[in-house]
Amino acid sequence: MRASRTRSLRARAGLAWAAALPLVAGALALGAPAADAAGHDGGRHALQGTKPRWATEQADQGSTAGSTAVNARVYLAGRDAKGLADYAKAVADPHSAAYGKYLSPAQVGARYGATQDQIARVTAWLKKSGLTVTGTTDRYVTVTGEAAAAERAFATDLHNYRKNGHTYHAPSATASAPASVSDAVLTVTGLDNAPRLARHHSAELPPPSPVFRNSGPFSTYYGSRTNESLPSAYGGKAPYAIKGYTGKQLRAAYGAKKWTGKGVTVAITDAYASPTIAKDADTYAARNGDPRYRKGQLSQVLPKGYTHIDDCKAAGWYGEETLDVEAVHAVAPDAGIVYVGAASCNDDDLMDSLGKVVDGHLADIVSNSWGDVEANETPDVAAAYDQLFQRGAVEGIGFYFSSGDNGDEVANTGTKQVDTPANSAWVTAVGGTSLAVGKGNGYLWETGWGTQKAVLSKDGNDWTDFPGAFNGGAGGGTSKAVAQPFYQRGVVPDALAKANGGNAMRTVPDISAVADPNTGFLVGQTQTLPNGKLGYDEYRIGGTSLAAPVIAGVQALAQQARHGVAIGFANPAIYQRYGTAAYHDVTDHPLGAGRDLAVVRVDFANGVDAAKGTITSLRSLGKDSSLQATVGYDDVTGVGSPGAGYVSSYRP
């Protein structure tokens, strides 16, 4: 993911880390003190994390020209930043007297929002420094101006630095605000202009332009079709990959029973917006046994315009929205769905979309299938996200983020790390599984999602380089930046929580659902067909971009079972149910130690038809880089996936 002021988030994916102190759960990432415990240095308030880690002496190319344009966003601390964090924790904790005593958006603004005096003082300071104020909300003030004015405002010099073969400007020292506004400023973003683009986390997500099709043969349910002439693997013949699970199969696997999500609304945030989403979603429902959409059941809240269209690969996000909408509806067919699109895949724009959900309380459940690697996140951006998540928690809103599609990220980035914002202590990180649903929609088993790929040899007698190279898996692991939150204590093993040495840290994920594209979900979308015309087509897809909306749908069922009372920030309740029949305890060897599993997959070489032949491969399951799904909590599936008793466990 990448998002930012200039950072762009991927629908599931990676940032560049500033030298940062850990973000302590329950506390906002206000600047750590530069000189004393109050965070003041010479009468100024340090804004920790505003100098990125990549802004090193070795990379320094000299001072930035004073006339260079700077666009920044000053986030406001509000009336009571600590009180907001404390109440967000209390209102979500089943053991607290304040549990479930949510506030309205107006009450949140009155109790914790920025005052008019704070906004006025911040505005006056920025204008006096020579910056032009271009926008104001009760969360932030946006400014533009020359680098020289930004340097005066934030008492730091901007230098040019080389990063990944490009030159970007950034503060040469931690930025600060004057003591006169120290109570009003949370942080500032935009003083560095390195791009951070969020990724969507859909494994093998095709763009909507050229059509993508899966080749057969397929299984209609796990194990329904096997080719006995293909080479054996793990002591037997592997079945073909399923064509793509649909709502009935997912609902059965995750204990939906009679619940449908009636009376509950789920919000989905992504970048941009598919121009054919309403038609595609309704066509998909009709073709695959889901109830048709009621009038107004699916709605969109969109920005006035879009930016960074090329940088963010805007068309690729259409499929993400389609997947998210169709997956939520498949699991919770009566739930309302509101799609809130961002103007780009940058952090500030994605935060604006999340802010619309919070400010208007558009939903109690928010599915987010995008992110970036933790190394690209800086404490200033993390602080702004956490403040928004805390405001949502106080209102009874829960945020669900996919954990990533590159396992421990070593193959992708060379460094073992988790993804963000899934690393936040204030969101529910959703990991992934490989799911086996059998005949009659019966749940068989799950492994942690992580696959290795071996291609059929030319003579068809064996699997080349069996079991093959790592081919994708659920993101997970231990944060280097976020301290262990209270709800993980006593559940997450110290071997994971302290994997980086030193203190116990936030471990990802919290819960999981189907994500493996080889046991994935059937999705329908308008694409460009081989004849050049637009047309509806269907294909199988996976990724933790699937797992997040599936869990959001399950949470809609649970909220209905709770007589419509909001679950809110769900992690304390999720961990409270650990070790009970609420979960499938997912392991990499569900059939017993030493019994590995695999499926056979056949793909069109050109992704469309057999004109250039097909490629047959074996996908071994439960092989997630260095991560392992084990008995109990693990860093692939968290506490597990929703079991037959999960939804009913929320009944009063």
Give the pLDDT score at 42: 53
For the chain, the residue count is: 652
- How much is the average pLDDT of 30-36? 33
pLDDT at residue 39 is higher than 90: no
Q: Give pLDDT tens digits for 155-200.
A: 999 999 999 899 999 999 999 999 999 999 999 999 999 887 787 7
pLDDT at residue 299 is higher than 90: yes
- How much is the average pLDDT of 356-369? 98
pTM of the model: 0.92
Q: What is the DSSP letter of 594?
A: T
Spatial contact of 568 and 555, defined as CB atoms under 8 Å apart:
no
pLDDT at residue 12 is higher than 90: no
Q: Give pLDDT tens digits for 608-642.
A: 999 999 999 999 999 999 999 999 999 999 999 99
What rounded mean pLDDT belongs to the chain? 91
477 phi and psi, to 5 degrees? 130, -160
- How much is the average pLDDT of 491-500? 97
Percentage of the chain exceeding pLDDT 70: 92
Give the pLDDT score at 41: 45
Check whether the bond before 509 is cis (ω within 30° of 0): yes
- How much is the average pLDDT of 61-72? 97
pLDDT at residue 30 is higher than 80: no
What does each C-alpha distance from 240 to 77, 106, 235, 474, 598 come to in angstroms?
54, 54, 16, 22, 9
First to last CA, the chain: 37
- Tracing tokens 């029949």 back to the chain, one arrives at 581
Parallel/antiparallel/unpaired status of strands 419-420 and 298-301: unpaired
Q: Give pLDDT tens digits for 528-542.
A: 888 888 899 999 999
Residue 404 — pLDDT band, cuts 50, 70, 90? very high
- In terms of Cα–Cα distance, which of 266, 258, 324, 338 is closest to 296? 338
Alpha carbon 556 to chain centroid distance? 18
pLDDT at residue 206 is higher than 70: no
Q: Give pLDDT tens digits for 371-389.
A: 999 998 888 999 999 999 9
Lowest mean pLDDT among 108-122, 284-298, 523-537: 523-537
Give the pLDDT score at 531: 85
State the architecture of 247-650 in CATH terms.
Answer: 3-Layer(aba) Sandwich (3.40)
- How much is the average pLDDT of 217-243? 96
Give the pLDDT score at 16: 26
- How much is the average pLDDT of 474-481? 97
Q: What is the DSSP string of 202-255?
A: -BTPPPSSB-----S--BSSTTS-B-TTSPPBTTBPPBBPBS-B-HHHHHHHTT
Give the pLDDT score at 498: 98
| CB neighbour burial string for 179-209, b if at least 16 within 10 angstroms, e if fewer | eebbbbbbbbbbbbbbbbbbbbbbbbbbbbe
Give the pLDDT score at 23: 29
Q: Give pLDDT tens digits for 123-167.
A: 999 999 999 999 999 899 999 999 999 999 999 999 999 998 999
Indicate the Cα dihedral angle 182, 109, 28, 496, nearest 10°.
Answer: -170
pLDDT at residue 32 is higher than 60: no
- How much is the average pLDDT of 224-247? 97
The domain ranges of the chain are 17-78+114-193, 247-650
Please give the residue that has the higher pLDDT: either 17 or 508. 508
pLDDT at residue 559 is higher than 80: yes
Residues 6 or more apart in contact with residue 576 via CB below 8 angstroms:
94, 487
Q: What element of type H or E holds 75?
A: strand 69-76
Residue 259 — pLDDT band, cuts 50, 70, 90? very high
